[in-house]
Structure 1
Amino acid sequence: MFWYLIPLLIGFSFNSASAFTTYFSRRLGERGGRLVCMVLRDVLGIPVWVIGYILAARAPSTLFFNRAVISSTLGWLLILAGAAIIFIGLLSLRWRAATPSVQDTLVRQGLYAHIRHPLYSGMVLELMGLTLLIPTLTILVACLLGVLW
């Protein structure tokens, strides 16, 4: 029942390791550091934790409330709102989102002028929506871990 936790937590770990751009850049040069961070997050991190969420959605589990039209509708609205916030945040970041660099500066325009971490905020909305859309124990645990991460 909890096999989905393995790729989920491994993906979170790879994603977290990608935050050490400065460390990798000192060891491997700026270009090497950027490449390592991009691979850790975009090749190993995000795809692996997405697989964890897919496995959580497919795992047999009990519902913690009955599905209804209102919860499904609200779930989809939260997912779409989160996706819109993430998309707008990525537009503000441009290439910095894919390949962080030691020379990157703080983004202060666009959505970042109002929300310090729109990518995380959007992800929290999406995870809340996913919990309403698929109200199972496995999805609840996976989404709570995602929010805590």
Structure 2
Amino acid sequence: MARLLIVHHTPSPATQELFEAVRAGATDDEIEGVEVTARAALAATASDLLAADAVVLGTPANIGYMSGALKLFFDTVYYPCLNDTAGLPYGLYVHGNNDTAGAVRAVEQIAEGMGWARVRPPVEAVGAVTGEVREACWELGAVTALAAAGEV
């Protein structure tokens, strides 16, 4: 069975909405053969990442950067997973009150350094979460789950 790992930091109602939409897409009944595991960024480990066939990352944009929790996840897994996760399909969603550009850039630079393969453009939500953003997160979860199964 393929495995999708969702690593998220959800300190606000907005990031919780995005996370729930991603998880709903990833666990849609039409997607078969994919086990979805969600881990808070502060609890996710190198073992979780090494067991995954794809990963979705979720973070708020804090002071122009990813959350400290997601940064700690990367600091923890970077070297232990660097050689074994090249080509890993990944997706990203970010929520910010004013801007998401710095957070997106930072995550994408690390993912590129790890040799991961982005499956869709990041979902960037600024301000209130709209139905369009929830739909984009649902699609991100579904497509990344399909990528974990090798169907994308």
- TM-score norm. by structure 2 comes to 0.27
Q: More strand per residue: 1 or 2? A: 2
Q: More helix per residue: 1 or 2? A: 1
Which structure has the larger Rg? 1
- TM-score norm. by structure 1 comes to 0.28
**Larger relative contact order (C-alpha < 8 A, sep ≥ 6)?**
2
